[in-house]
Structure 1
Amino acid sequence: MLCSCLSQALAVLVCTFQRYSKQEGDRFTLSRGELKELLEKELPSLGDEGAFEELLSILDANKDGEVDFQEYIRFVAVACTLCHEFFVDSPVVLPRGQ
């Protein structure tokens, strides 16, 4: 059975969080190091160290020094919104392999 594009996208978002969050400490949160590695490997165009520090302070809504899944998914939602706004007038093209 083939999964829909949206099902696959949701699975990738969840699995990406889990892949990085289980590396150290609490497997239900991203430590500062885990978040930094996730961003460097998955979204390398995001910016420099200053941009990372600012993003971390915004994402860590409860100020516990880590990013839980709810905080991560709010970031994903904002990133999706920005991508939608950027590509709103572009032709609809499915990702490769679809």
Structure 2
Amino acid sequence: MSATLQGTMEDLIKIFYHYSGKEGDKYKLNKKELKNMLQVELSEFLNGSNDSSMVEKIMSDLDENKDGEVDFQEFVVLVAALTVACNSFFVEYLKSEDCSK
């Protein structure tokens, strides 16, 4: 993993294009590619959930232009939303640790 913000941005781009274009448009993730990416890269977020309904919900939420695929911009929205959620959890955890001291 990268230790810099620039490196992290590069990794994000590489990850997207690693999964996109295996079928159809090489600049977009179709449902199967999105599911594969989520299972491999974000398996802890899918843990214990119904994979197909989760992928359907994520695809529906991300696919702003309703073309049945997720482009890079739509993908970044997912990453940003998950990052914000993780940060909120982390902040709450730190606050609870401070209170227990």
Q: Indicate yes or no: 2:81 matched with 1:78.
A: yes
Instruction: Kindly provide the amino acid, as one letter, of the partner of residue 29 in structure 2.
Output: L
1:31-90: CA deviation from partner (whole Å, max 9, x where unpaired):
111001000111113232212111111011111000001100111110110011011254
CA distance in 2, matches of 1:85, 1:25: 37
**Structure with more relative contact order (C-alpha pairs < 8 Å, separation 6 or more):** 1
Contact 2:22-2:33 within 8 A present in 1 as well: yes
TM-score of the two chains, using structure 1 as the length reference: 0.81
CA distance in 1, matches of 2:88, 2:4: 20
Q: Helix, strand or coil: the match of 2:75?
A: helix
Bigger proportion of residues as helix: 2
What is the percentage of aligned positions where both structures have the same residue?
41
Paired residues, number? 88
Structure 1 stretches lacking a partner, 5+ long:
91-98
Counterpart residue number, 2:10: 11
